[in-house]
Amino acid sequence: MPRQLFGLTTGVVCATTVVDVTVIATESLSKRFPRVTALDRLSMDIGPGVTGLVGANGAGKSTLIKILLGLSPATEGRAAVLGLDVATEGAAIRERVGYMPEHDCLPPDVSATEFVVHMARMSGLPPAAARERTADTLRHVGLYEERYRPIGGYSTGMKQRVKLAQALVHDPQLVFLDEPTNGLDPVGRDEMLGLIRRIHTDFGISVLVTSHLLGELERTCDHVVVVDGGKLLRSSSTTDFTQSTAILAIEVTDTDEHPDGTAAMRDALHARGVDTHDGSGLPGAGHILLLTAESEDTYDLVRDTVAGLGLGLVRMEQRRHHISEVFTDSDEQQSTAHHSAGKEAVGHGG
């Protein structure tokens, strides 16, 4: 996508069109603290939709969000959000953007409704609109009767929803969600990810969501940006990831007939020409078989094989890359070492 996003240099012509296609753009953005370099010449363009920002803790994700909100000046380079320069138009950006912090930020002694109404007013919504939008937004994030109770009594999942609601209440064009799935159980995680997906598909709001888990972002995002040590490691659409990583994990029960069900299953699959791996190094190794799903037929094949052997199918799920493999991949590319095929890649997925 075009670098001319910075309409400053290329004139007004692109200002309107570029806003349509680029939501966030950075150009050799660097942030250095006396001891650390948090961002190192980061250049990227992010379009509308759900974008995942992946990186280990300390990779510079939060620093980037701070700069994009216009709250912290970049050491060098430039950045624009919704076509607005972060260095000079921070207030205008913050009016159009929502932010959900990673940490707890809710006072326990007020109700979700009171709190979100207050935050809506802080965003400039008139009192009546603030109340109306609060009721709508809390309903959309899935808080109903409990919204009148003090937040102190909420579960982590409910608190995350309130945090999300306050970021959405003023109907921003873009939201920054910092680690929204932190502290949630698997079900809560899935619900939150579904909600994030809906923020774009149903609400029409672009999303920048950070996480240190690539797996969960793959399912949710249209585009994933990986940063490490303040540098851009990879920026690609999620289809790139998923195409190479359609790996199935299968776990079967043992029966009297087949005391080692896993081995029986492996042999049966081999007999049908399907290659498997034993997932060594993974939790549950020895009980899990990994195979590459070529097409939809693979699922049927697995089902028929399991049924034929009379085993119980404990699980069959898609596995995806773990973030560490993206790092490994890129290291390999850098050192021009051999690039192993995606089917060897294993990791913890959903």
Footprint on this chain of another protein (rule: CB under 8 A) = 62, 66, 69, 71-72, 91, 94-95, 97-99, 101, 103-110, 114, 118-119, 121-126, 129, 132-133, 136, 140, 150, 166, 170-171, 202-204
Pair of tokens at residue 140? 């959309």
State how far the alpha carbon of 165 is from the alpha carbons of 5, 56, 168, in Å.
Answer: 30, 26, 5
Instruction: Name the H helices within the chain.
Output: 7-10, 13-21, 61-68, 90-96, 112-122, 127-140, 156-168, 186-201, 214-220, 238-244, 261-271, 296-309, 323-334
Largest Cα span, the chain: 76
The CB-of-104 to another protein minimum distance in angstroms stands at: 6
Q: Which is nearer to another protein, 166 or 238 (CB)?
A: 166
Place of tokens 């260095």: 87
Determine whether 291 is exposed, middle or buried from the number of CB atoms within 10 Å of its CB (0-12, 13-18, 19+). Answer: buried
The CB-of-98 to another protein minimum distance in angstroms stands at: 8
Q: Which is nearer to another protein, 121 or 343 (CB)?
A: 121
The CB-of-228 to another protein minimum distance in angstroms stands at: 22
The CB-of-337 to another protein minimum distance in angstroms stands at: 40
Cα dihedral sign for 240, 243, 245, 251? positive
Q: Which is nearer to another protein, 138 or 306 (CB)?
A: 138
The CB-of-115 to another protein minimum distance in angstroms stands at: 9
Q: Which is nearer to another protein, 70 or 347 (CB)?
A: 70
Q: Which is nearer to another protein, 91 or 341 (CB)?
A: 91
Q: What is the DSSP letter of 313?
A: E
